[in-house]
Structures are given as structure tokens and as C-alpha cells.
Amino acid sequence: MRTFKILTAAATIAVLAGGTAVAQQTATDNGTDANGPITILKNMQAEPNGVRVEVDGRHIENLQMADYSDITGAVHHGQNTMTVRWDGPLQKLNFKIAFAPTRNNFKTVLLVQSNASNDATLRQAGSRTMSFTIPG
């Protein structure tokens, strides 16, 4: 029983510390592999309904939960664009995109941390397009 508690605590700490192991994927048709390369979108705050994300014109997710999304199949080496649209006022946008050329070697390629108290565009419906680069 004590071993189970220790393993559970270790797993919880790993997730809270960044959860990179959770983001690793098994091989798929688009080439995503646990050994890399892999690109993830990490939403660090749940958003209300009406928030949509596109990467290079491809719908990704609705950012309604703090979670990871594997976006390896939606990006390419070089410059990419990410567009976030929202239907009403937001308090914050808080997410990042990270790229790992090899297993557990993530580097942040885009970090967005905006809040309505400093960014008036979040106080009404709108959108924002950002560029990021995947090395290679």
C-alpha cells in the first residue's frame, strides 16, 4: 500500500511539474513518436465557451480545459501561424506551444500570457494571430 501511495505521489508531481511524459505519443500515421519530434499546445487556463484556436488554418481545439494537445500534424518546420478567436470578453489568455526534437527535450516556441486588465482587446469579442517557428 505504501508503494502505491509513493507511485501515485510521484505521478502527481510529474504532472504538476510540467507533464512532459503525458505529452509523449506513440507512433501514428503522421509520424508522431514518443522519441520526437513532437509539438504540443499547452493551455494553462480553462477558457469560457466561444474560444477557438487554429494553427495554419486548421482547427485545433476550444481551450475549454487546462490541457495538452498534440499539434505535431498541424505544424511544419519553419514559420507557422496560430489564430485565437473569442466571442465575448475574456479575463486571460494563457498558453504556450512547445517543440521537442527528441524525447523530453521541449523548448517553448510561443508563449501567450495576456490579461484584460493590461490588454483592452480581451474585453470584447476579437481575435489575435501570432507567428512561431518550428526549428529544422
Are 54 and 82 spatial neighbours (Cβ–Cβ below 8 Å)? yes
| Residue matched to cell numbers 511524459 | 21
- Give the pLDDT score at 133: 97
| Residue matched to cell numbers 516556441 | 109
Pull the grid cell for residue 47. Answer: 477558457
- Give the pLDDT score at 87: 93
- Give the pLDDT score at 57: 92
Pull the grid cell for residue 87. Answer: 466571442
C-alpha torsion angle, residues 15, 17, 20, 22 (rounded to 10) = 0
- Give the pLDDT score at 9: 39
Does the pTM surpass 0.85? The reply is no
Q: Running along the chain, 136 residues long, what does each successive block of 10 average in pLDDT?
A: 40 40 44 71 82 90 77 94 93 92 91 94 95 94
Q: How far apart are CA 1 and CA 3, in angstroms?
A: 5
- Give the pLDDT score at 67: 81
- Give the pLDDT score at 23: 39
* 3-class secondary-structure state, position 44: coil
Would you kindly state where each structural domain of the chain is located, as residue ranges? 25-134
- Give the pLDDT score at 2: 41
